[in-house]
Structure 1
Amino acid sequence: MTEVKSEWNSNLAFVLAMIGSAVGLGNIWRFPNVLYSNGGGSFMIPYIVSIFLLGISFVLVEYAVGYKFKKSLARILFTVSKKLEPVAWFILLVVFLITTYYVCVVGWDLIYVVLSFTKGWGANPDLYFANNVLHATDSVSGIFTIVPNVLISIFVIWFIAWLINKRDLNEGIGKVSKILLPLLCIMVLAIVAFSLTLPGASIGYSQIFKPDWSALGNSEVWLAAFGQIVFSLSLGMAIAMTYASYLPEGSKLVDNAVIVAFSNSGFEVFNSIGIFSILGFMALTSGIPFNELVTEGTGLAFVVFPQVFNTMGSVSYIIGPLFFLCILFAGITSVIALLEGVCYSISEKFLIERKKTATAVCIVGFCISTIFATGLGSTILGVFDSYLNNFALLLGILLECLIFGWIYKFDDLIETLNENSTIKVGKLWKTVIKFILPICIFCLWAQGIYYTVTDINPISTTIITILTVTLIVVPFILSKLPAINKDYYNV
């Protein structure tokens, strides 16, 4: 079998796939809470600074590296230095493990897509989510109790991901991105337009335009902005590097990076107007203070919003399904992007065709995801999320900064970016990547370690120990396994 290199059939396919990979659960339910909790309107200042300083700057590194080498992450780092291949497999394993629980959360949403047509969560959405959906328990014995509905929904999401990723690049990821992303934007536009007509909407959306200027002097606010950009743009997850490696010659890398970054951020801010307006309506009609309604993650999506839909009347039978379909579409486009980098590295090193690689990766992923379909699943998921995002992923991003900023010939990347782009980069970008960005990421990483350590208990200690051993042993094994692709070793 010979190595076959995939390529995007248009720049539009690449841009839509990149935006689809960035627009995910973090945009819909994480950003509104981060915005509200960190100074409201004044948060937009550190947020915009973070887009340029961290977001676009790091995306440009990934674009330049992927486009220049036209190889998978594992092969790129092997090319830079043979000793660095384990770092690539470490990053890819972190991404894969994140995908295994991300699929579970998208699976929960799939359940709520079905429930939303009849408001099947009943009068007490909080109790329903904990008892009827998750069957959550803090007892270790809960790991032996399978939750059928969650298991089925997880299987469906993995099956959808497999159907997409096993296909040719343009027929799979490219075509799905061209369909789901426009649909997602249309649905969000409809939800925001409707939300602005609700009584009390101004109570909510005014929060975005009500600045707390004192927050700008708080380092925690700036770290929150950096953190939001990291997770929102999926930095360091090998997505941008992988997708950029499929670009044809003559692509405008810097122009594309700016388009993707601002499209993603524009979606976040616009979506927040709708989220806040609906929460403002809830605050007015229920008498619950606005600050008690603003939360993030599953609490906002699966508890607060069902409560809102319960008070909204018959129109909620339209808005409810649209809201949960938005989360579903955003989740699917992110899942297929997360899997692509992993599949590409395995396929390239061991010369396994795309369909077989996608099948093997999805089967292993589903087996791991079944852990989250147990009574203890939500607890385990919380530990996975905290450890992998706050510690492992940020460590991977920091290592990438150091590798491409200090070990690799950085000026080659500047030349690659400026070759066809309308917007040029130079010494300022070089300074950001070599000095400013590593300091910012290190501060985020130190903060992440602190949060992880302070939330420790016997169950989380066991899970973190298992994850740590896995993240050391598996990358070492994958880097030591001989490549079937003999070109793999050609530097």
Structure 2
Amino acid sequence: MSPKSSPQREVFVSRGAFIFAAIGSAVGLGNIWRFPYVTYDNGGGAFIIPYLVALLTAGIPLLFFYYAMGHRSRGSAPLAYRMTHKAAEPIGWFATGVAIVIGIYYAAIIGWAGSYMFFSLKESWGDNAEEFFFSEYLKMGDPGISLDFVPAVLIPVIIVWAIVLVVLLMGVQNGIAGFSKIFIPLLIILFLALVVRSLFLPGAAEGLDALFTPDFAALADHKVWIAAYGQIFFSLSIAFGIMITYASYLKKKTNLTGAGLVVGFSNSAFEILAGIGIFAALGFMATAQGVEVADVASSGIGLAFVGFPTLISEMPGGAIFGFVFFACLVFAGLTSLISIVQVPIQALRDKFRVSNKASTAWVVGVMAVVSILLMPTVTGLYALDTMDAFANNLGIVGSAVLAIIVVAWLLRKMPVFSRHLNAVSSFKLGPIWMALISITGVVLVYMLITQIIAYATDGYEDYPPLILGVYGWGMIALLIVASIILTLVKWPKKTIDDMHEAIADSVAEDNLRNETKGV
């Protein structure tokens, strides 16, 4: 396709299609294996208070912020930032780079979950789920950099990328929206079945007591509030380009704030549902082993691939329970991964004016190759864990901090965004929304600074400097350099013209012109 030609821009045919896709992006692995433990570890039932405060003061306001950027520019993350000012474009490329990094390792976790769906049927881990996962399945070696492949992991990762490629080649409406419309309801049905089964296990009440018994004294600890903001921030898929990209596919007259409220509350409802199901199951596990819930409660990879296999071996009908649990992880992971990969796909389309299918093939191909080279190796878990920590705690938070400082504070674009959102939305925004964005910026600056200091002084998980230098600090440095280089590449005139045309054609600009004319 010649540089002057214009690849057809795709759209979601309805607001419902967008909502399903956005919920699919937001509801991911973190909802299932992170929220329950964060709640338990930060005051139990009392944590719901800072959690809801964070949702209303940071999560949903930031969703509106990124919706406005994407919908107004009708462009990818780099183009949306370029719309605010030329100097802001590197923030968009950095956010896109963070999405690429997350996608590279996220595929591996989905591959593990896919394998464990079938391991559950035969309880393949035997008597020691921990040894099976780390030694037999992952074949973990010493911390380092190795390209010794683990075939049992390699094949599932390839399958995951093949699924992602097929869905994305089908396009925004038929692929992304169609996949989400099928698998989000299926995920909810399966997870509801899992929760109901968990609630009828012996000891379920003890697990729920451990989760929801409030410790109101914890509310005096600022770290609990920071944990609440962090959970909301990470779980809503904001600050690494997804919501900008998805909003750019919406039609001119779309109720943006109404959609944001649905997505935000749906995501939180699923998290609370996950907490009930997970801790009811952990209560049974603690009862079966004759220990306290605290002794079996964990989060992340340890919960999913060590704790739950142990639980499956101890409970009646555990094989089916396990199959459903890991199927939920697969479906939640795939809907999120598809949205993650769409971020660089759209950025490549806009910057280099390539076709939809060519951009998809290039992005998925390159990400799949890197993922396959790094993740299914004997040191893959070290790379994955380090990339995850740095991408989330420095990359995503750093992207949001830069967005608020540059776009909201320095460029003062909030009134423009407010006017755009109010022109098409039912829930109107004004000074309170702008103030909440600024308060969120202060919280995120604190989170970013404290995390940088912690990693710089204490390292991460006692990993050797080589691991942290390559997959942590080196990865962040690479994203910064790549962001600057890509910014220096000149935009095609047609892309910039299309952006200005989209802005001029927006409902907000129409209203402003009519007001100016006295209509």
Q: Is 1:344 aligned to 2:351, yes or no?
A: no
Q: Which amino acid aligns with 2:361?
A: T
Q: Which amino acid aligns with 2:443?
A: C
Match of 2:298 among 286, 295, 298: 295
- Which deviates more, 76-85 or 459-468? 459-468
Whole-angstrom distance in 2 between the partners of 1:447 and 1:221: 15
Whole-angstrom distance in 2 between the partners of 1:182 and 1:35: 25
Whole-angstrom distance in 1 between the partners of 2:424 and 2:87: 32
Whole-angstrom distance in 1 between the partners of 2:226 and 2:447: 6
Give the SS at the match of 1:115: helix
What residue is the counterpart of 1:483 in the other structure? 491
Whole-angstrom distance in 1 between the partners of 2:246 and 2:480: 27
Q: Using the TM superposition, give the Cα deviation of residue 484 of structure 1 relative to its aligned residue in structure 2, in angstroms.
A: 4.5
What residue is the counterpart of 1:81 in the other structure? 85
Q: Which amino acid aligns with 1:462?
A: G
Percent identity of paired positions between Structure 1 and Structure 2: 35
Whole-angstrom distance in 2 between the partners of 1:76 and 1:462: 31
Q: Is 1:44 aligned to 2:52, yes or no?
A: no
What residue is the counterpart of 1:452 in the other structure? 455
Whole-angstrom distance in 1 between the partners of 2:393 and 2:413: 29
Whole-angstrom distance in 1 between the partners of 2:143 and 2:278: 35
Q: Which amino acid aligns with 1:137?
A: G
Q: C-alpha deviations, 1:330-389, integer Å up to 9, x for none?
A: 000000011112110111111111111111111211222121211111111111111111
Match of 1:55 among 54, 59, 72: 59
What residue is the counterpart of 2:233 in the other structure? 230
Q: Using the TM superposition, give the Cα deviation of residue 139 of structure 1 relative to its aligned residue in structure 2, in angstroms.
A: 4.5
Q: Using the TM superposition, give the Cα deviation of residue 428 of structure 1 relative to its aligned residue in structure 2, in angstroms.
A: 0.7
Q: Which amino acid aligns with 1:227?
A: G
Q: Which amino acid aligns with 1:210?
A: T
Q: C-alpha deviations, 1:278-317, integer Å up to 9, x for none?
A: 110111111132101111111000001000110113x112
Whole-angstrom distance in 1 between the partners of 2:222 and 2:60: 21
Match of 1:331 among 306, 330, 333: 333
Give the SS at the match of 1:483: coil
CA contact (8 A) 2:78 2:92 kept: yes
Match of 2:442 among 416, 439, 443: 439
Whole-angstrom distance in 1 between the partners of 2:179 and 2:142: 39
Q: Is 1:124 aligned to 2:149, yes or no?
A: no
Say if 1:465 and 1:239 are closer, same or farther in 2 by CA, change over 3 A.
closer
Q: Using the TM superposition, give the Cα deviation of residue 324 of structure 1 relative to its aligned residue in structure 2, in angstroms.
A: 0.2
Whole-angstrom distance in 2 between the partners of 1:81 and 1:181: 37
Q: Is 1:19 aligned to 2:26, yes or no?
A: no
Match of 1:144 among 143, 147, 150: 147
What residue is the counterpart of 1:410 in the other structure? 414
- Which deviates more, 395-404 or 291-300? 395-404
Give the 5 Å matches for 1:238-387: 238-313=241-316, 315-369=317-371, 370-387=373-390
Whole-angstrom distance in 1 between the partners of 2:114 and 2:314: 22
Q: Which amino acid aligns with 2:324?
A: L
Q: Using the TM superposition, give the Cα deviation of residue 43 of structure 1 relative to its aligned residue in structure 2, in angstroms.
A: 0.2
Give the SS at the match of 1:336: helix
Q: Which amino acid aligns with 2:484?
A: F
Match of 1:112 among 116, 123, 140: 116
Whole-angstrom distance in 2 between the partners of 1:2 and 1:250: 23
What residue is the counterpart of 1:220 in the other structure? 223
Q: Using the TM superposition, give the Cα deviation of residue 247 of structure 1 relative to its aligned residue in structure 2, in angstroms.
A: 1.0
TM-score by length of 1: 0.96
Give the SS at the match of 2:429: coil
- Which deviates more, 79-88 or 220-229? 79-88
**Number of residue pairs the alignment of both structures matches:** 488
Give the SS at the match of 2:122: coil
Q: What RMSD, in angstroms, separates the aligned Cα atoms of the two structures?
A: 1.5
Q: C-alpha deviations, 1:244-265, integer Å up to 9, x for none?
A: 1111122111111111101000
Q: Is 1:474 aligned to 2:478, yes or no?
A: no
TM-score by length of 2: 0.91
Say if 1:206 and 1:459 are closer, same or farther in 2 by CA, change over 3 A.
same
Say if 1:14 and 1:283 are closer, same or farther in 2 by CA, change over 3 A.
same
Whole-angstrom distance in 2 between the partners of 1:26 and 1:234: 10
Q: Which amino acid aligns with 2:46?
A: S
What residue is the counterpart of 1:96 in the other structure? 100
Say if 1:256 and 1:139 are closer, same or farther in 2 by CA, change over 3 A.
closer
CA contact (8 A) 2:142 2:379 kept: yes
CA contact (8 A) 2:42 2:224 kept: yes
Q: Which runs of 5+ in 2 are unaligned?
A: 501-519
CA contact (8 A) 2:140 2:378 kept: yes
Match of 1:462 among 465, 469, 483: 469
